Structure formats: structure tokens, C-alpha cells
Amino acid sequence: MQFYSTNNKDLRVSFKEALFNSLPADKGLYMPNSIPVLDPEFIRDLHSFSLAEIAFRVAKNILDGDIPDQDLKRIIDDAINFDAPVVKLEDQVHVLELFHGPSLAFKDFGARFMSRVMSHYLQAGEKELNVLVATSGDTGGAVALGFLGVPDTKVTILYPKGKVSPIQELQLTTNGQNIHAIEIDGTFDDCQALVKQAFNDPELKEKFRLTSANSINISRLIPQTFYYFHAYAQLQRQSKTDVIFSVPSGNFGNIGAGFLAWKMGLPVKQFIAATNINDTVPAYLRSGVYQAKPSVQTYSNAMDVGDPSNWVRIMDIF
């Protein structure tokens, strides 16, 4: 499968290049050249498949042979070795629990898949890979544990001073080995801007082999589709197939993965993008004008994003 830039559909690269180079030269984001539609029989019978089996089928269709089946199955079995149960809260209301991974964040899905895919491609003796990541809290912990101890890889995590929880800060700063955390006197948007600036700096790119572990990297987005299919499968077993997903949204990668799953044939009735006071996207939907805003600190710090990177992907899907 080739991947194109959201700023130029003629700029196409392989999955491996999109994985390691994260951002196209034109500052867009990578998207699959064509979004595969899964076999309707597979969708109908989702209830009969495990999470790992669903993940393999979905990834296999998106990657389209870029990773041999045996290797892809091994990657998924290692990365997605925890469950994501749907738990009933009340009639017609369920919650998809995405905190059963090692860092207790839903981003374990993306970070663990990404680290293992990179390990699959990395060859001994290659130039050291420098992974940059901006975090508002949960991304950093997931990436730190996902990449901890991976050979020939160094991870640098940028996080905003005073804007992550004490537990999250410990997750970022106490791993050692190949994980380095830097506290930034600013917001998450400032951290994210520094990461993007690094990728657009020719001298840095010449000196270091850089990639990003944020959801701007397509390999973070792909595995987040897995749990939408898995959630639907669990509801299917209860004969509940009229599904609305309400998704807490900050950088809009999570709901972006949901839209990708929908385009692949998952019969979702509706998506609700739940935001806090950082309402750049709701304001855009009301006015038709996209205007990035400075992020405002709240207790839901993972949602404190004033300029969500993944919105361009969602615009492309539609």
C-alpha cells in the first residue's frame, strides 16, 4: 500500500517510508492511497473473532503485503496482548475500556504496534533512530513503555510543565535506558510545534534519523482502528448493532481512527466528537472557518489541544 500526503495526493511513499519519516516534506500527513473495504461477511461475523484476529485482518488489508503475514501476526500478538472489554453502564449505554494495557492509556494500542513494526524494519548496524514525541500526558507513558529497551532507538518525550498528572510525569521520567523526557515551559501545542519544527529542519534531519511517535505517524493511527471493530463485535454478540461512538477528542487521532474503520465498512450509525473548552473543531463545524486557538488547561489534559493535527485526515476522509 502506498500513502499520500494530505497536502498533495501525488506525493506517495511506501508504508516503511511513511513510518520512519512521519511527516511529508510538504507538511501534510500521510493517508492510505486507497482505503480498503473489508469483506461484508467478515463484518457480519465479527462476533466470532478475537481482538488479535480482528487486528490482523484489518492491518493486513491496510498494509496490503508490506509486512509478511507471519511477521504481522507475530507483531500483533506481541503488541495487542491485552483486552478491551465493552462494559454495560445502563440500558443502551456501554463503555469501551481502553486502559488495560501496560501504561493504562488507550494509546498503548498505537505505541506498542508502532514500536514493534519499527523493530521489524530496523536492521542491525543502521543509524540510530531518534523518536520524538509530544505529550499532554498519556501518549508519553505509552510510548515510553512501548519503546523501552528497543535496540538502536532513542526516545525523546516533550511534555508541558505543570500540565500532566504526577503519575503521568513519573511514567515519563523514571524509565531510564533509552527514554529521555524534557519538560517544556509551555503548552502541549508548544511541544507539538517543536516536534514538527524538528522534522522541517534540514540540518537536524541530516544529523539525526528522526521519526515521530505522535498520532501524526500513520502507524499510530492504524492500530487504533482495531478496537472499534472489536467493540462492535462484542455488541454484535448481544444483538446490538445500531452503534453510536462518543469519543473524547483532543488531537482527533482516536476519532480519526474510528472514521477510518467506518470507511473500511464498519457499520457505525454516528460518531460524537466530545471536546472540552478547547473547541477548535466544534467552532469550525458551526462557522465553516478553521481557526486554531491557544490551548486552555483543564483537568482533562489529554484533550487540551487548540490545533488538532489529525483534523486534516478527517477532512480528507470526507
Give the per-residue pLDDT at 124: 64
CA dist 166 to 20, 137, 161, 204, 296, Å?
A: 31, 10, 11, 32, 19
Distance (Å, whole) CA 34 – CA 27 = 20
Residue burial 31-44, b: 16+ Cβ < 10 Å; e: rest: bbeebbebeeebbe
Q: For residue range 13-70, what is the model confidence (pLDDT) as tens digits?
A: 999 999 998 888 888 999 999 999 999 999 999 999 999 999 999 999 999 999 999 9
Within 10 A of 288 (CB to CB), how many other CB atoms are there? 7
Half-sphere exposure of 139 (CA within 13 A, CB side): 34
β-partners of residue 31 are: 4
Q: Which residues are catalytic?
A: 107
Those residues with Cβ within 8 angstroms of residue 299's Cβ, 6 or more apart along the chain or in another chain: none
Structural domains in the chain, CATH included, are 2-106+219-317 (3.40.50.1100), 108-215 (3.40.50.1100)
Residue burial 114-149, b: 16+ Cβ < 10 Å; e: rest: bbbbbbeebeeeeeebbbbbbbbbbbbbbbbbbbbe
The DSSP result for 274-317, as a single string, is E--S--HHHHHHHHS----------S-GGG--SS-TTHHHHHHH
Give the per-residue pLDDT at 137: 76
C-alpha cell at position 149: 529497551
C-alpha cell at position 151: 535496540
Parallel, antiparallel, or unpaired: how do β-strands 179-184 and 209-212 relate? unpaired
Give the residues of the chain that fall short of pLDDT 70.
124-125
Q: For residue range 154-183, what is the model confidence (pLDDT) as tens digits?
A: 999 999 999 888 989 999 999 889 999 999
Half-sphere exposure of 236 (CA within 13 A, CB side): 18
β-partners of residue 184 are: 160
> Would you state the torsion angle of the CA atoms of residues 44, 47, 51, 55, taken in this order, to the nearest 10 degrees?
-10
Count of all residues that appear for the chain in the document: 318
8 A C-beta contact, residue 19 and residue 117: yes
Within 10 A of 238 (CB to CB), how many other CB atoms are there? 11
Give the per-residue pLDDT at 22: 83
